[in-house]
Amino acid sequence: MARPVQCRRVGLLPPCSIYKPAGIPVRFLEEVVLTVDEFEAVRLADLEGMYQEHAAEQMKVSRQTFGRIIESARKKIADALVAGKSLRIEGGEFRMPKMRTFKCTKCDHSWQVPFGTGRPMECPQCKDKNIHRSEDERGMGDAGRCRRCGRGNK
């Protein structure tokens, strides 16, 4: 009997759910489905440049599992690009952070905002606009509950 799939930690949802070749309506295209956890693996490994071991820690999976996730994601992306298919990002076993922590570079004030409320425009204390995500968190704080099974993180 196979082990149940563990919920993966995801720090960022994709900005768009469908990518497709220009000029062709999506209804005429074959579709490749990339899961949200595969999207996160590509973001961490290819965009952020993390080594697999560190990216696996971020997603709370083993290095071997991360390797399988990224291999599957890259194959799907290549298929969509080479064959001119649409790429839909949805589903998967994942959980999102409940809160995000921001820090002001001017006054060193830190504060939290709920995930999904957008990026704050300015520091609530000094009103400076030079703010950034907390270094120790970077979207991977309290990972909340799994979108599929409802379990919390360990």
Please report the pLDDT score of residue 114 as a whole number. 76
- Does residue 25 sit in the same domain as residue 63? yes
CB burial readout 69-80, b (16+ within 10 A) else e: bbeebbebbeeb
- Does residue 106 sit in the same domain as residue 90? no
Please report the pLDDT score of residue 6 as a whole number. 73
- Does residue 21 sit in the same domain as residue 89? yes
- Does residue 108 sit in the same domain as residue 45? no
Residues lower than pLDDT 70 in the chain = 1, 5, 115-116, 135-154
Our CA angle for 116, 96, 40, nearest 5°, is 105
pLDDT tens digits, one per residue of 63-72? 999 999 999 9
Residues 6+ apart with CB under 8 A from 106: 123, 126, 128, 130
Please report the pLDDT score of residue 87 as a whole number. 96
- Does residue 52 sit in the same domain as residue 82? yes
What is the rounded CA–CA span in Å between residue 30 and residue 41?
A: 23
Please report the pLDDT score of residue 146 as a whole number. 56
- Does residue 14 sit in the same domain as residue 89? yes
- Does residue 80 sit in the same domain as residue 16? yes
- Does residue 59 sit in the same domain as residue 122? no
Question: Is 74 inside any structural domain?
Answer: yes
Query: Domain tally for the chain?
Result: 2
104 forms beta bridges with 131
Range of the domain at 47: 8-95
| Phi-psi region at 60: left, alpha or beta (left = phi > 0; alpha = psi -120 to 50) | left
Reading the block at residue 64, the tokens are 């071997």
